[in-house]
Amino acid sequence: MTLGSSFGNLPSMRVERIGHGAGRDDLPHPNVLRLMIGTSETPAREERVMVVETNIDDMNPQFYDYIMEQMLKMGIKEVFLTPVFMKKNRPATLLTAICSLGQMPVVTEFLFRETTTIGLRWREERRALADRETRSFDTKYGKIRFKVAWWEGNVINVSPEYEDCKRLALERKIPLKEVFEEAKRLVATISKGRRVTGFLKTRR
């Protein structure tokens, strides 16, 4: 009898009972079964992702802009750089990409082809996501898009889009910081004691 075809990390759960039982047959491996019964506590906005990393110390740093841009166009979730030191204190760059399991072959092939790395490492992780959507609001300088994020119905962050603020500053020939100050004023109005209802909830 087959009870499962695969195994992995223990899911988020409130364990209520644990039972153990030994089989009668003498097998090459321990013939023991453990059963855990509990209630799922998985957050509604949780997903499994793959984290791919590589240390690079011998590539023209100008290439990173191109590499990151191309990886984001591929639709991966995140890519970022971290300065690190390798053996003999050589400065290097840790490139980290976060993608879905299905994107792993494409990400792996791209990094071997486009960078000087000769080895990659990866692991599976879980991440919790706040609900979010992009909404446009009128300000005295013009429309600005804001990324509105909430958790369990409560607004937790409202962030103006930099490109919109930059565009308005150039169009009106005013300091960029003035546009951001106006955006911050509106953010305070939106966030103060506000619960989000009826918004279209989307995932990144």
Boundary-marking domain end, from 81, 101, 128: 128
Please say whether the beta carbons of 77 and 125 come within 8 A. no
Number of domains in the chain: 2
What is the SS3 assignment for 45? Answer: coil
The partner residues of 78 in beta bridges, in order of sequence, read 98
Instruction: Map tokens 């279209």 to a residue.
Output: 200
Confirm whether 37 is domain-assigned. Answer: no
Same domain, 86 and 68: yes
pLDDT at 35 over 70: yes
Same domain, 144 and 112: no
Confirm whether 197 is domain-assigned. Answer: no
Same domain, 155 and 82: no
pLDDT, tens only, 110-163: 999 999 999 999 999 998 888 888 989 899 999 999 998 888 778 888 899 999
Show the beta-strand stretches assigned E in 24-153: 32-40, 46-56, 78-85, 91-99, 121-128, 131-139, 142-151
Q: Report the CATH number at residue 101.
A: 3.30.70.1380
Instruction: Return d(Cα 51, Cα 49) in angstroms, integer.
Output: 7
pLDDT, tens only, 39-97: 766 555 788 999 999 999 999 999 999 999 999 999 999 999 999 999 989 999 999 99
Same domain, 70 and 144: no
Confirm whether 31 is domain-assigned. Answer: no
Range of the domain at 89: 46-128
